[in-house]
Structure 1
């Protein structure tokens, strides 16, 4: 025990750690007890809450299941639909399972009572009441069903629902009671916790107070002694806690020794300090002398820096304005002037100023030939004069101040004044030495101005030469004897993309390699360049090469450049002959293609005609030969028509008979025709929009789709799917014609719609064609305010996309018909559906009249004849059905012309159309579909002289 006490006495840290450790143990022990208590009461509540939640969930599920069974039974009795009966018996099994689940968790007396009641009601309702009622209903005895409901069936259901609600309420009450009990326990736990915290705080305060007494008192004694010592008091019976064994005792003993040691050495230090003070005074005197010399040296260094800057400014640029600005600023720094300017005598609009207003500069230039400036032209020497500052120059100063102005002439090599400089300095006159120095600087300025003048003249000549070269359409390059590039024009820079037009030095290897990288056959061009530059024998001075990426054909020729008899270099001229090359190639290909395309059918016609003339043939063989001759003649006619179409389109004589057409039937007609020639292909139409109407010429549109679909068949010789997709995108109707064929090379895509253009590929050459089909497609689409684009990948397939302006329902209405004043009669007994249809038709501009039965409708229509009738088949019981109304209207001459659209849940379209209905809609359908159909029917009546296409969704309705 003594060892432990001694262990803690030697260290304050150990004492504090021991007290704090006991405090922490006590705090955690108490907190653990309170935390365990809180967990116990929370877990108990959660277990009870989980049980009650399960009971509540079972009760709610029973309520929903019984309610669903009641509605299924009533639905079956009301509508007679078998799915309600099947759902009712399915609910019986579900209810029985729910009662079993409640039995497993119900352990309270009131749970057992409710379960017993639920089982009794289950047996009564499903096995007795509902079973007998369904049997009676199926036997047609509706009175027995009503009697069963009146004789206690409904009362029993309501009584059980009340019991179920009471049971559900009792569960919720138990949950609330358990929650209130939990809150009470938690409140008690919080009170205990607060009391525990207060107890802990009291213990902590005791620990801090104890440690404060042990540490604070001796430290205060040490601090008091240090303060007295700092005030030069002598050590007289000062008390320190030197008897303690801890850190405070060690500190007190050390502090006591330190005080005695400092007092012993104080006198020695005072003597040394006096000696050092004397040395410091001497050093300060020497420092003042060094600072004076340093200031002079900095001033001289600054002057040299300004002059170096002046020389650098006038020699570092060839831009006249930049040099003049540099001269003015540098001279102002050298002179320590506050303002100044320089003006060229022969070009007085060229000047630079520093610290002057624009008005002052213009005033000086205006009077440069008279007054004091004239002295410069006569004496050609600098001069100065003193003047008193004007009030605006003096600013806030009130005393008399003076300005010293210096005028400096800049003389040319012919000793003529070519520039004048003027500077002003306040408060200090210019010395004779400064005047000589500034005069020498003007000579440097004169040399710089002469250099700029020579540069401007040569630059002017160079720009003129470069402008002439840049306006030449050929690429021109001047090289020296070693092949280094000296000058190129803008056309040549398009070939040498890393260089710029103008004077540009590039080595022969650099520009040659850059050019050869773009050429298809670089070795031939490299040999030509080497021969021209480095071989003396007379060889070919021109060559033609092809560029890989730009698909261009370039002809280059070379000429040597001489000055007298001395060769200075060589000029290369690169001329773009792509168009001439393509025209020659196209002519030869066109002649070859046309001869092949025309000779093939002509050979067949001549051959079969000769057979028929020279041989006796059977009638069936004659018929076969005649059919072949007919087909080949049609092929020739199609080729000739293509040539004529292209000619008419180019001359602007092509005419179009445009109407509103649905392109779906046009596409389907083309597909039906092309299927004969495509036994290995499956052509599919994917319609992703209902708005397939365009304003166009039906025959020309058919020609477009014929060319694209026939190309898709021809260029997929191995078969595969051909998809025609119709969709809307970005306010346009788009049609994709996609195949799984050979594909198109990337480099051929830009020229694909050019006349007579055919892809240079052996696989495609064997297929044949004139190269006019896609050119015709492009022209027809352009005439229809549309576009045609293509995307392709070799060996995967191609997709041609046609883009037409989208014709919407609103556009069609505006163009074709005005619905204002048109009446539509809606005969429908369902009030909600009738209101929905009436709203949709009113939004479309129609006046709508609603009738619930046929008798009222027929009577009203005799007084006010409608433009269209929307008719439901199943109307109110005891009255006329929709079939009766349809027959009466078709028998009455006054109603025969009125279009009737049947709107019914019955799928009897064939019967409705047979009895005279114009169209038939099966519920449910979108109300907007009804507006479209009525508009289309009225359009047909109004434009009976034209062949109109069906509105969107009509084909879908026919399928239904």
Structure 2
């Protein structure tokens, strides 16, 4: 203890460390006690609340059980259903279980009284009243049931329900009271915590006062003595604290020793100061020389940086205009010029300026090679001139101002003037050295301009090649020896869409997988690509495949590419052969259709003619056979005429006799003719306009409506109504031909007017036809300046609409 007391006396820090440690321990101990008190309050409140909540839950369960049992008994008495009786006994078990669960929770006299009342009611109701009433009801004695209810059954239930509600209200009041007690105790705890904090603050204030007295006061005296020492020198009396053995006393003694040492060395320092002053003057002179050399080095560094910017600006871009702007801007900075312009000596006269207006640049370009610039073409050397600025360049100055212009040629390797540079500076002329320097810089500029010219020529050739490549009708694809996609044109991207995104430099496996996924026969295309890229293919190989999504038929052929006798890649050429395949299909269908359509009437004619030649027939039979031969010949003639009409229309050789034609008689005549060939179809003609005259060829119009009405009859094999309607719409005469027949599939509608096209299904194959009727309709309507379209739904029929330009009033009158 004595050693500790000596340590405390000699160390201020130790004293305050121990005091602060005691204060901290006291603070945390008090805080811990208060926190524990708050936690204890909270746990106690939560336990009480949980018990009350359990009681409330059991009370609700008991209430529901008794109420449900009461209603189930009444329901059983009212309806006699066994389910209500079973529910009564289930609620009895539920109530018994809830009462057992409430027994451990009954800790107050009120809880025990309620539990006794509930047990009594349970026994009276479930073990006495309910069994007796059910027994009477099942005997059919409803009067006894009513007497049981009147003699206390209903009253007992109502009395218990009131007791249950009163107990529930008691639980609510207990919960509220517990909450109020909890809040009051919390307030007491908070008040205690505030009082504890106030006590701690008071103790801390006392500690701070002690620190100020033991440390602050000596430090104030030290500070005052140090300030006086700084003003008066070594004659100041330093405060002593000899009685203190701590850091303050040691500090006082150390400062006194330091002052004695300062007094001893003051004279020595004064002598050294005089010597240092002399050395300082010498150093200042050397510093001035160094600053001048540094300024010169900085200027040189700036000039080199500007030169570097000039060269970097020319080297970093291949855009001529960007390079010219960079050149003139950096050249003006290097030569300290306020204005400048550079003009390339080519047909386009590409140029860039710095500090010049658009009007000045335009004027300079117009006078190029007509003034002083012409001197550059002759001498091919830089020169300077001094000129007085005109009024529009002097601004607000009235006195004469002068500009010094430096003209610099940019020479090509063949010593031709490749560009002209003009720099202007105010106030100081360009020196000969600066003119030489500008000429040297012009050599660098010449190299950059040559590089740009070569790049532009190469870029022009590249764009030409790319345009040709992208406008080829075939899709071109180039891969290397490893199958990596190196090149493909725009046609490939157009055909394969999003699947071709990212093919550039894509490995073989990636682009092959994407391409094969588009084809219907992925395996065959994959084998073909593998053989073309990695196989020993020295000849052209070809394959045809079909795309899944749009059913386009593609033909791809692959050929190896050689350079110097060594293979370096493979080229694939993809061609869209859908139309060729379709033409081949149409040719086959045409041959088949024509063969069938011609063979049928010819077979009939030959058969009947053979009968007439080889077998004696009655006159009426001969007349019948000759009539059939005539009809088949007419059918054959109509078929041949259809082929010839289509050929003439497509070749533009079809002749038309133009005259005003009233469509009503034409349509009615066609309908009368078609009626003769069917007895299962009804026909109707609706005229909804008085203007039914158009300018056209009567015979061709008859052919048009004959084809439409005949198709309506032919493709309605089960009969129905064929309705023709004439009306006006948007200044045109419209004719609708509607049937109730087979209809046209949605996928066939875009092709219905194509030559030889027929919908491919069993119903239409039985009907027959050449597929030329609607093609002839479209060509006749087109020749009359009209339009034709169709709206159809399968199994519900089709409506063909023809629109003609209205004939003028004069034509109608004529």
Q: Which has the higher helix share?
A: 2
Map of 2:559 onto structure 1? 556
Question: 2: distance between equivalents of 1:245 and 1:239?
Answer: 15
Which secondary structure state, in structure 2, belongs to the residue aligned with residue 243 of structure 1?
Answer: coil
Map of 1:807 onto structure 2? none
Where in structure 2 are the equivalents of 1:602-751 lying within 5 Å?
Answer: none
Map of 1:19 onto structure 2? 19
- Is 1:542 matched up with 2:539? yes
Map of 2:224 onto structure 1? 224
Which secondary structure state, in structure 2, belongs to the residue aligned with residue 77 of structure 1?
Answer: helix
Question: 2: distance between equivalents of 1:105 and 1:465?
Answer: 97
Question: 1: distance between equivalents of 2:377 and 2:533?
Answer: 68
Q: Are the structure 2 counterparts of residues 355 and 75 from structure 1 closer, same or farther at C-alpha, using a change threshold of 3 Å?
A: farther
Question: 1: distance between equivalents of 2:158 and 2:40?
Answer: 43
Question: 1: distance between equivalents of 2:177 and 2:312?
Answer: 97
Map of 1:333 onto structure 2? 333
- Is 1:9 matched up with 2:6? no
Question: 1: distance between equivalents of 2:96 and 2:104?
Answer: 13
Q: Higher relative contact order by CA 8 Å / sep ≥ 6: 1 or 2?
A: 2
8 A Cα contact 2:479 2:571, kept in partner: no
1:211 Cα deviation after fit: 3.6
1:242 Cα deviation after fit: 2.4
Map of 2:162 onto structure 1? 162
- Per-residue displacement from partner, 1:116-158 (whole Å, max 9, x unpaired)? 3323322332233333433444455555544544444322221
Map of 2:530 onto structure 1? 520
Which secondary structure state, in structure 2, belongs to the residue aligned with residue 340 of structure 1?
Answer: strand
Which secondary structure state, in structure 2, belongs to the residue aligned with residue 240 of structure 1?
Answer: coil
Question: 1: distance between equivalents of 2:437 and 2:74?
Answer: 121
Which secondary structure state, in structure 1, belongs to the residue aligned with residue 232 of structure 2?
Answer: coil
Q: Are the structure 2 counterparts of residues 351 and 243 from structure 1 closer, same or farther at C-alpha, using a change threshold of 3 Å?
A: same
Which secondary structure state, in structure 2, belongs to the residue aligned with residue 425 of structure 1?
Answer: strand
Question: 2: distance between equivalents of 1:474 and 1:182?
Answer: 87
1:404 Cα deviation after fit: 1.8
- List gaps (5 residues or longer) in structure 1: 480-484, 501-515, 529-540, 561-566, 592-651, 659-695, 702-774, 778-944, 947-960
- Per-residue displacement from partner, 1:190-248 (whole Å, max 9, x unpaired)? 55555454444444433433343222333233222222211124446533112322222
Q: Are the structure 2 counterparts of residues 244 and 440 from structure 1 closer, same or farther at C-alpha, using a change threshold of 3 Å?
A: closer
8 A Cα contact 1:410 1:417, kept in partner: yes
8 A Cα contact 1:407 1:421, kept in partner: yes
8 A Cα contact 1:408 1:421, kept in partner: yes
Question: 2: distance between equivalents of 1:574 and 1:141?
Answer: 106
Q: Are the structure 2 counterparts of residues 294 and 396 from structure 1 closer, same or farther at C-alpha, using a change threshold of 3 Å?
A: farther
Q: Are the structure 2 counterparts of residues 101 and 302 from structure 1 closer, same or farther at C-alpha, using a change threshold of 3 Å?
A: closer
Q: Are the structure 2 counterparts of residues 288 and 233 from structure 1 closer, same or farther at C-alpha, using a change threshold of 3 Å?
A: closer
Map of 1:74 onto structure 2? 74
- Is 1:98 matched up with 2:98? yes
Question: What CA RMSD, in Å, does the superposition of the two structures yield over aligned residues?
Answer: 5.3
Where in structure 2 are the equivalents of 1:198-217 lying within 5 Å?
Answer: 198-217=198-217
8 A Cα contact 1:492 1:574, kept in partner: no
- Per-residue displacement from partner, 1:386-445 (whole Å, max 9, x unpaired)? 344456655677765422223345566787655433221111122344445545655665
Question: 2: distance between equivalents of 1:188 and 1:477?
Answer: 90
Which secondary structure state, in structure 1, belongs to the residue aligned with residue 243 of structure 2?
Answer: coil
Where in structure 2 are the equivalents of 1:851-862 lying within 5 Å?
Answer: none
Map of 1:360 onto structure 2? 360
Of stretches 11-20 and 135-144 in structure 1, the one that deviates more from structure 2 is: 135-144
Question: 1: distance between equivalents of 2:27 and 2:300?
Answer: 80
Which secondary structure state, in structure 2, belongs to the residue aligned with residue 265 of structure 1?
Answer: helix
- Per-residue displacement from partner, 1:258-316 (whole Å, max 9, x unpaired)? 12112221221222122112212212212222333343344445445555665666677
Which secondary structure state, in structure 1, belongs to the residue aligned with residue 242 of structure 2?
Answer: coil
Map of 1:721 onto structure 2? none
8 A Cα contact 2:409 2:417, kept in partner: yes
1:179 Cα deviation after fit: 4.4
Question: 1: distance between equivalents of 2:4 and 2:558?
Answer: 109
- Per-residue displacement from partner, 1:754-792 (whole Å, max 9, x unpaired)? xxxxxxxxxxxxxxxxxxxxx999xxxxxxxxxxxxxxx
8 A Cα contact 2:239 2:252, kept in partner: no
Question: 2: distance between equivalents of 1:459 and 1:29?
Answer: 86
Question: 1: distance between equivalents of 2:574 and 2:34?
Answer: 99
8 A Cα contact 1:410 1:445, kept in partner: yes
8 A Cα contact 2:382 2:407, kept in partner: yes
Which secondary structure state, in structure 2, belongs to the residue aligned with residue 542 of structure 1?
Answer: coil
Map of 1:115 onto structure 2? 115
8 A Cα contact 1:476 1:491, kept in partner: no
Q: Are the structure 2 counterparts of residues 398 and 274 from structure 1 closer, same or farther at C-alpha, using a change threshold of 3 Å?
A: farther
- Is 1:58 matched up with 2:61? no
8 A Cα contact 1:62 1:95, kept in partner: yes
Of stretches 76-85 and 153-162 in structure 1, the one that deviates more from structure 2 is: 76-85
- Per-residue displacement from partner, 1:829-881 (whole Å, max 9, x unpaired)? xxxxxxxxxxxxxxxxxxxxxxxxxxxxxxxxxxxxxxxxxxxxxxxxxxxxx
Question: 1: distance between equivalents of 2:560 and 2:25?
Answer: 102
Question: 2: distance between equivalents of 1:39 and 1:239?
Answer: 57
1:183 Cα deviation after fit: 4.7
Q: Are the structure 2 counterparts of residues 222 and 290 from structure 1 closer, same or farther at C-alpha, using a change threshold of 3 Å?
A: closer
Q: Are the structure 2 counterparts of residues 23 and 441 from structure 1 closer, same or farther at C-alpha, using a change threshold of 3 Å?
A: closer
Question: 2: distance between equivalents of 1:344 and 1:82?
Answer: 112
1:88 Cα deviation after fit: 1.4
1:90 Cα deviation after fit: 0.5
- Per-residue displacement from partner, 1:309-335 (whole Å, max 9, x unpaired)? 656666777654455334433432343
Which secondary structure state, in structure 1, belongs to the residue aligned with residue 406 of structure 2?
Answer: strand
Question: 2: distance between equivalents of 1:39 and 1:444?
Answer: 86
State TM-score, norm by structure 1. 0.49
8 A Cα contact 2:532 2:570, kept in partner: no
Map of 1:407 onto structure 2? 407
Where in structure 2 are the equivalents of 1:428-443 lying within 5 Å?
Answer: 428-439=428-439, 442=442
Q: Are the structure 2 counterparts of residues 101 and 656 from structure 1 closer, same or farther at C-alpha, using a change threshold of 3 Å?
A: farther
1:100 Cα deviation after fit: 3.2
8 A Cα contact 1:72 1:88, kept in partner: yes
Question: 1: distance between equivalents of 2:413 and 2:3?
Answer: 109
1:552 Cα deviation after fit: 8.0
8 A Cα contact 1:544 1:556, kept in partner: yes
8 A Cα contact 1:477 1:492, kept in partner: no
Map of 1:535 onto structure 2? none
Which secondary structure state, in structure 2, belongs to the residue aligned with residue 231 of structure 1?
Answer: helix
Q: Are the structure 2 counterparts of residues 133 and 343 from structure 1 closer, same or farther at C-alpha, using a change threshold of 3 Å?
A: same
- Per-residue displacement from partner, 1:74-132 (whole Å, max 9, x unpaired)? 33334443322211111111112223333444354444433333233223322333334
8 A Cα contact 1:519 1:545, kept in partner: no
Where in structure 2 are the equivalents of 1:285-364 lying within 5 Å?
Answer: 285-303=285-303, 306=306, 310=310, 320-364=320-364
- List gaps (5 residues or longer) in structure 2: 494-499, 507-525, 548-553, 589-710, 719-739, 746-759, 763-794, 797-814
Map of 1:274 onto structure 2? 274
Map of 2:259 onto structure 1? 259
* Greater Cα radius of gyration, structure 1 or 2: 2
Question: 1: distance between equivalents of 2:478 and 2:169?
Answer: 101
8 A Cα contact 2:133 2:144, kept in partner: yes
